[in-house]
Amino acid sequence: MSSLPLRILVLEDHAFQRAYVVRVLEQLGCATVYEAADGAQALALLEAVGPVDVALCDLQMEGMDGVEFIQRVGTGGQVGAIIISSSLPADLRRAVRQMVSLLGLEFLGDMEKPLHGPKLRQLLEKRLQRMPEARPAAQPEPEVASEVQVRRALAERQLHAFYQPKFNLVTGGVEGVEVLARWQHPSGLVLSPSVFMPALERFGLLDEWLYTKMDQALAVQEQARRQGVSVNMAFNLHAGQLASRTLTANVKQLLARHGAVGHGVTFEITESGLLETSTVSLESLVHLRMMGCRLSIDDFGAGFSSMQRLCQLPFNEIKLDAEFVRTLEEEPRCLAVIASTLALGHTLGMSVVIEGIETTAQHRKLLELGCTLGQGYWYARPMSGPDLLCWLKHPQALR
């Protein structure tokens, strides 16, 4: 059996069960295993030996319990990931899993006692797969770009559209692409939106980037048409941009420039941004639909106004938040949410796109639930325009 180069902390107050778990981990080939009988002892141990990759936590114990321990290490970087091992009721374990996610820790799984070796190994291997590989030193990515930097990036066309396909879960066919943003920095790095999107929003540059991105993407769509492929382009639209009285006119102009039609474009608006919708915003939504554009309510289920907004606004697509898929295998309630959303979409005449599909097991389960449209790394990662055009000819090339 191959070894697992991981540092593990076992937090369990029952001496026999703790010894059993330590023995199982050693049999699995874990590099280093530490043990503690309560949270306070575990914190002192971490102070002495340094960070661990995984903490395997019981929750209910005398002294500092596992819940408080997780809260204490959540912001300190002392633990990389958490596995829960507890006999507490399922609803309490669910709440702790949510707490783990909110603290920014990776949640690997929830195991019943006594622990099953093969299942534990599977969870630990998942942690290994997600751990960053050692890489040569590179220029660090700036935390957030300045106004001067993003204005220069826009002016010098350093911001580029990237594309992640949406697919039919049944046939594997391409249903469209979501148009994302990347910064091809002069340093040679490709920077993520977290570096520059806050600055674009803060300094009123979202519209300029939207139209630049649309111009790039519609040019790629035009090239795809010449290859005999029709592909819908989906653009993320900040809810505040709907209040612009020039939005629909600019969209119409861009479509005309590239010989595109409205039904070849989707606008995805995040649900959390739709808490208050002005008459101008509603007018923009109506005009976009009148032009033939599709409207998608993005990250559905992550906000608090879903049902009301579905009734009030002219959306014709729901994109279910990726969190429901991410915990699909460990959380039975997620199955109910997905099934209910599919039924809701069917009743309202809206298509439902499932975000965040990363594994074959998730894909298989979603098919069983009746899902037909999805998006995620299991199918394709975001890619540049030239790569997308190549991929549309040979969809397996970049899988």
Distance of alpha carbon 64 from the chain centroid: 33
Instruction: Give the type of residue at 143.
Output: E
The predicted-structure confidence for 53-106, as pLDDT tens digits, reads as follows 999 999 988 889 999 999 888 877 789 899 998 888 877 888 888 888 878 888
Note whether 149 and 352 are within 8 A (CB): no
Same CATH topology for 4-130 and 147-393: the answer is: no
Instruction: Tell me the torsion sign for CA atoms 151, 192, 396, 363.
Output: negative
The predicted-structure confidence for 35-63, as pLDDT tens digits, reads as follows 999 999 999 999 999 999 999 999 988 88
Domain locations in the chain? 4-130, 147-393
The Cα 79–Cα 25 span in angstroms is 17
For residue 133, the model assigns a pLDDT of: 45
156 flagged as catalytic: no
Q: Indicate the pLDDT class of residue 302, thresholds 50, 70 and 90.
A: low
pLDDT tops 80 at residue 130: no
Q: Which CATH number does the domain 147-393 belong to among 3.20.20.450, 3.40.50.80, 3.40.50.1100, 3.40.50.2300?
A: 3.20.20.450
For residue 1, the model assigns a pLDDT of: 47
Given 141, 331, 355, 368, the catalytic residue: 355
The Cα 205–Cα 217 span in angstroms is 18
Higher pLDDT, 77 or 293: 293
pLDDT tops 70 at residue 141: no
The predicted-structure confidence for 356-388, as pLDDT tens digits, reads as follows 998 898 999 999 999 999 999 999 999 999 999
Q: pTM for the full model? A: 0.71
Question: What dotted CATH number matches 4-130?
Answer: 3.40.50.2300
- What is the per-residue burial (b if ≥16 Cβ within 10 Å, else e) of 268-292? bbbbebbeebeeebeebbeebbeee
